[in-house]
Structure 1
Amino acid sequence: MIKLSPIALLGSLFMMLQVVSWGPASVLAQQVPSSQEEIQLSFAPVVKKAAPAVVNIFTSRVTRSRPSSPLFDDPFFKRFFGDTFKVPEKERKQNALGSGVIVDPSGLIITNHHVIAGADEIKVVLADRREFAAELIVDDEQTDLALLKVQSGDELLPFLELRDSDDIEVGDLVLAIGNPFGVGQTVTSGIVSALARTRVGISDFNFFIQTDAAINPGNSGGALVTMDGRLIGINSAIYSRSGGSIGIGFAVPSNMVRTIIASAGMGGRVVRPWLGFVGQDLSLDLAEGFGLRRPGGVVVNEVFKGGNAEIAGLKSGDVILDAGGQPVLDLESLRFRIATGKMGSMMPLRVWRRQKELLLEMKLDPAPDKPEPDQRVMDGSNPLAGAKVANLSPRLAEEIELQGAWSGVVVLGTYRGSPAARSGLKPRDIVVQVNKRRVESTEQLQSLLAEGGPRWQVQIERGGRLLSLDVTF
């Protein structure tokens, strides 16, 4: 064992301190900006490019309501004026605000459906404070997107190009531009926190980009842009308990925005490619049963006869793993891939069938619209009187969000106080039988109701369950 004198020990300690103090300093020296350009790094060039294309949207609508007062329910008041006394309705103008993005120099503006829902008047204010009255061209509640049009004459407006939302990755820098709380155009920065969020519940096509860029009320419909100044998403919602941003915001991907813009050339009607089958998410238990190592995918349960899925070769029991070269996480992600595909094109599918992988191609066609809806309102003395019904087709099933049914007679709604409403009929109920006779069409249903009575046995299907109704009129 070597012993050091006090002087030698102090010398060694001094040398160790020198190493410790100079080591980090040399590392820090390597991080100091070495040029004027590095000192002036900024998001300003991206903002200057993108901000002029982001607009403020102001909406207004007139609501009518009758004032409430305990006086109107007072027995003394009713004795003199009766129950037929009419209280005049009071009109009130409600205003709301949001954001939008110009996506075409001719004046096409994309925003959220919930920003303009129910509006009687829509006004668009550009970044340079010019104001335009806007016309609603496309309104799609299922994706929470809407397309507006402003008339700018011969002048071309600033606009943002769309970037392929499949190109971005978690960790990419993004900017959110909008009008939070009505304070004026605001820019916040962040990163892409997650992709393909499908458990959000904002729209029917749940497939969102998650970001930690601050998004607040009023940002809805605003732009989420990448560092090249292109549009990657439309800010739609936040997760918050207080109403303010906590760093969890969601944007509709630009690939879905592209389909809404394309529908402007089809008279404003949104027509999406159709799955052609009924499926379910591949859970861990199902994955083990199919011989797959991990969950993730869609199990095909039933294929529509003669549809695009059957023509492609899909069969009940198949597991779809990839669509269009992108992994399929669940049914929502598959619906997104199909819905954002180009109508009439072929989409490659990677399928797992009987312990083997197959490559199939499915043509992206719209849902069949046969038979004709033939909407009717049932009348007479029967439990279905007052029900609005229609012939069910795959196209109608898509429109009313009815899963797993393609034919029969479906209830679209009931009139308040009608026998159908009192019988408990609900929208999307399918009328299966009347007095033990199967119902195939609205015309047949009307005939059965005209012939039957006074006792009625009605069988309906609701959410995959059969319910029976026995009534005497």
Structure 2
Amino acid sequence: MRKISVCFILSIFLMLITSCTGSGFKKYFEKTVEISIQEDKNLIYATGTIISNDGLIITNKHVVENKNNILINYYDSPDIKYEANIINVSSNYDLALIKIDKKTSFFNKIDEEFSLGQKIYSIGNAKGYGLSLGEGIITSEYKNVIYNKEEILSIQTNIEIYDGCSGGPVFNKKGNLLGLMAFRLRDDGKYILGMSFMIPARTINEFVNERK
């Protein structure tokens, strides 16, 4: 009987691990998109986070503001492009809403609760090489950080991010959206490793609710 109980507990434990790793993350990739923007002769890459089933996507203002030809694709169909329209660009936050004509999976819970040291995950389109998963912890709570000459309320993490990761979702083990990966800082012209900042769920909710 004891052996059966141990095996049962082990099976449950393995199921829990599987739900948070490997194929368990695929559903979050389906709620995230790759963004590419043609600007002059250059391609700009970024990430978008889907927040409604009718194709509404939230990303950073510095990614799409005053941009045309915003193209969207999914990680599992890189050759299929969707043209996105800008719906709203915030005057107060580094946030923007864009939309594609497609029914899709989405992050249906924006969670304002978090804790220092909490384990988090992020998905980003680093350098335009497609979506990839990162993990880390929250290393500092709400702080105002100067970025692009603007003061931005943000939460600090230790997730490594690169060009193209802006606009990617940051979520907890339950899959609830905690924030949007936004930027990293430089010191003497070089990026500071292990120091990234996300726009918190509180700010996202305020921005999204402006449309209601």
TM-score by length of 1: 0.39
Structure 2 CA distance for partners of 1:208 and 1:263, relative to 1, 3 Å = same
Provide the residue aligned with 1:217 in structure 2: 163
Distance in 2, Cα, partners of 1:162 & 1:202: 29
| SS of the residue 1:151 aligns to | coil
The secondary structure found in structure 1 opposite 2:38 is strand
RMSD: 2.2
Q: Note the 1:360-375 alignment, pairs <5 A.
A: none
Aligned to 1:117: 65
Higher relative contact order (CA 8 A, sep 6+): 2
Give the Cα separation in 2 of the matches to 1:57 and 1:114.
13
Equivalent residue for 2:197? Answer: 250
Conserved? CA contact 1:113–1:141, under 8 Å = no
1:146 and 1:44, CA in 2 relative to 1: closer, same or farther beyond 3 A? same
Kindly provide the CA deviation profile for residues 415-470 of structure 1, in whole angstroms up to 9, marking residues without a partner as x: xxxxxxxxxxxxxxxxxxxxxxxxxxxxxxxxxxxxxxxxxxxxxxxxxxxxxxxx
Name the counterpart of 2:92. Answer: 142
- Which consecutive residues of structure 1, in runs of 5 or more, have no partner in the other structure? 1-33, 62-91, 266-473
Counterpart-to-counterpart distance in 1, 2:126 and 2:57: 18
Query: Deviation at 1:116?
Result: 1.1
CA–CA separation in structure 2 for the residues paired with 1:54 and 1:243: 28
User: What do residues 49-96 of structure 1 show as CA deviations (whole Å, max 9, x unaligned)?
Assistant: 3111110111123xxxxxxxxxxxxxxxxxxxxxxxxxxxxxx43321
| Matched residue type, 1:227 | K
Distance 1:120 1:199 in 2: 28
- Would you say the 8 A contact 1:170–1:195 is kept in 2? yes
Sequence identity (%): 24
Partner of 2:31: 53
Aligned to 2:185: 239
1:155-166 mapped onto 2 (5 Å cutoff): 156-165=103-112
Partner of 1:339: none
- 2:173 and 2:149 map into 1 onto residues whose CA distance is 27
Partner residue of 1:131? 81
Partners of 2:161 and 2:122 lie apart in 1 by 7
Q: CA shift at 1:216, angstroms?
A: 1.4
> What amino acid is aligned across from residue 45 of structure 2 in structure 1?
L
Paired letter, 1:125:
N
3-state DSSP class of the match of 1:206? Answer: strand
User: Which structure is larger by alpha-carbon Rg, 1 or 2?
Assistant: 1
Distance in 2 separating the partners of 1:187 and 1:109:
19
Instruction: Tell me by how many angstroms 1:124 deviates.
Output: 0.8
CA distance in 2, matches of 1:135, 1:203: 27
Contact in 2 for aligned 1:116/1:122 (Cα 8 Å): yes
- What whole-Å deviation, never above 9, does each CA across 1:327-376 have from its counterpart, x for those lacking one? xxxxxxxxxxxxxxxxxxxxxxxxxxxxxxxxxxxxxxxxxxxxxxxxxx
Q: What SS class does the counterpart of residue 158 from structure 1 fall into? A: coil
In structure 2, stretches of 5+ residues that fail to align are 1-8
Q: Does the C-alpha gap of structure 1 residues 264 and 46 become closer, same or farther in structure 2, counting only changes over 3 Å?
A: farther
Among 215, 220, 228, the alignment partner of 2:174 is 228
Contact 2:38–2:70 under 8 Å retained in 1: yes
Give 1:26-45 correspondences, 5 Å limit: 35-38=10-13, 41=17, 42-44=20-22
Compared CA separation, residues 192 and 46, structure 1 to 2 (3 A): farther
1:367-405 residue CA offsets vs partner (Å, 9 max, x unmatched): xxxxxxxxxxxxxxxxxxxxxxxxxxxxxxxxxxxxxxx
Q: Find the residue that maps to 1:49 and give its secondary structure.
A: helix
Which residue does the alignment assign to 1:177? 123
Deviations 1:282-307 (A, max 9, x none): xxxxxxxxxxxxxxxxxxxxxxxxxx
Shift of 1:101: 0.5
Report deviation, 1:137: 0.6
Would the alpha carbon gap of residues 234 and 142 (structure 1) be closer, same or farther in structure 2, given more than 3 Å must change? same
Distance in 2 (CA, whole Å) between partners of 1:199 and 1:118 is: 24
Check conservation: 2:110, 2:205, Cα contact below 8 A: no
The aligned residue for residue 5 of structure 2 is: none
Deviation string 1:193-245 (CA, Å, 9 cap, x unpaired) is: 11111134457562211111221111001110111011110100012447556
> How has the CA–CA distance of structure 1 residues 51 and 244 changed in structure 2, closer, same or farther, with 3 Å as cutoff?
farther
Change (3 A) 1:205 1:199: closer
Cα offsets for 1:239-290 (capped at 9, x unmatched): 244755611110001121122222334xxxxxxxxxxxxxxxxxxxxxxxxx
- TM-superposed CA distance for 1:163, in Å, is 2.7
Deviation of 1:189 (Å): 0.6
**Aligned residues of 2:75 and 2:130 also touching (Cα < 8 A):** no
What amino acid is the match of 1:121? N
Asked if structure 2 preserves the Cα contact closer than 8 Å seen for 1:99 and 1:220, the reply is: yes
Contact kept in structure 1, 2:111 and 2:176, CA below 8 Å: no
Contact 2:182 2:199 in 1 (8 A): yes
Letter in 1 for 2:35: I
Report the CA distance shift for 1:105/1:196 in structure 2 as closer, same or farther (over 3 A): same
Superposition deviation, residue 141 in structure 1: 4.8
